[in-house]
Each structure stands twice: as structure tokens, then as C-alpha cells.
Chain A
Amino acid sequence: NAGVMQNPRHLVRRRGQEARLRCSPMKGHSHVYWYRQLPEEGLKFMVYLQKENIIDESGMPKERFSAEFPKEGPSILRIQQVVRGDSAAYFCASSPLAGYTDTQYFGPGTRLTVL
């Protein structure tokens, strides 16, 4: 059973470009979480999605950031018009159920560098 897959692992963008980060949850998992890790910081929650639904986006910046988890295919975190402050590691986690006793399984992350 493959783990959580994220791609690309490293992404370099210039200021003003768009960044698309993809996350494929573990097989059988229908809940996806996105977290951001800034340098020297812990992970901060961004958004929680189920198939075709955004359940909680309270951690998402109000502008430029969006996320989706379509019926088919991976979850996508999209950052428009990137700025240097967006440079961070972005982690996706998945879980099988919606209970908070369930373990969230993390992917290897996408490290975004904005030049």
C-alpha cells in the first residue's frame, strides 16, 4: 500500500508565477489536510478537504491560495502570483475517516522556493 504521494518534491518559481502542488492520499483515504512549514517553525494547518468538498479552510491565506480535491485525481494546492514569503515546505496528510482519533499520514512534502 503506497503512502501519501506528493509532487513535485521541489518546485522553484519566480515572483508572480503560479505554483501547483499535488497530493495523492493513501488508498482508501478520503480526507486530505494541507499544512505549511516555514523555516524554523512547526507545521501550520491550512485546509481540510473531503472529496469535492472543502470542510475547513480557516488556515488558508485570504488571497492567492486555493485548494481542491476532485472526485477523480489528486488534491491540488494552488498558489497564484507567488511571493518570496510563500517559500516553505508544504505537506499533505490523509486519513481514512473523519474522527480525530485517526492518524494523519503525511507525505514527503513539496519544498517551494520563490526567487
Chain B
Amino acid sequence: AQSVTQLDSQVPVFEEAPVELRCNYSSSVSVYLFWYVQYPNQGLQLLLKYLSGSTLVKGINGFEAEFNKSQTSFHLRKPSVHISDTAEYFCAVSHLQGGSEKLVFGKGTKLTVNP
């Protein structure tokens, strides 16, 4: 079975500071990895995804993530955050079983950007 661990439930940072949100996964097979963002009372929006190729993936809103197979990690980074980045961030892996491409999510990291 696959699982996703987001090591930090809450991350407070100041505006314009860099941020890294950590994600580790466990899987016995190759995986596809995703980061989604959820703003308050809204649905999930895809930030970026890793399918294959370059291990550094660039997404929307200035975010990027690096796939590290040896460390089974897919940490999300942004060099300079804005107040508007305050949201909850979810890491997920695709889990292919029985013809179903379900997503397995971590518990989320709440990013709070303070002025």
C-alpha cells in the first residue's frame, strides 16, 4: 500500500521569506506525485506534478518541487512567499489498483504567511 507523510502540520513564515513544505512517500512501485493547494472553503487546485523526466518540477505561482527517489521525497519550495500563499497544501501520489487511479493524500500542511 502507498502512503504519504507530510512532516509539518503547520508552517508559519514571514512574507518574502523562502519556504519548504516536506513530503515523503512510501511505495513498492513507481509513483506519480502531485502537490495541490486548498484555499479556505474552496476545492483543490493543482500546483504541480511529477510524472517522469527532470526531477525538478516547476508549477504555478512560483512553486517548484524536487523528486528524490533515493529519499522518497517530493518537497515543495518557493523562494519568496506572499500573503496570498496562505493556504493548506496537500501532497499526493497516484495509486493504481484494480483499474482505478485513486489519489492518496497526506494530511496537509497549513502555510501561514505573516506580514
Contacts and interface: CB of A to CB of B under 8 A. Distances in A.
Interface of A: 4, 6, 33, 35, 40-45, 48, 55-56, 58-59, 91, 93, 95, 98-109, 111
A55 B99 CA distance: 7
A42 B102 contact: no
Which bucket holds chain B's interface residue count?
A: 20 to 34
B43 A48 contact: no
Contact of B105 (A4, A44, A48, A108): A44
B101 A98 contact: yes
Interface in B63-94: 90, 94
7 contacts: A41-B107, A43-B44, A43-B105, A45-B102, A91-B43, A100-B94, A106-B36
Contacts of B46: 103, 105
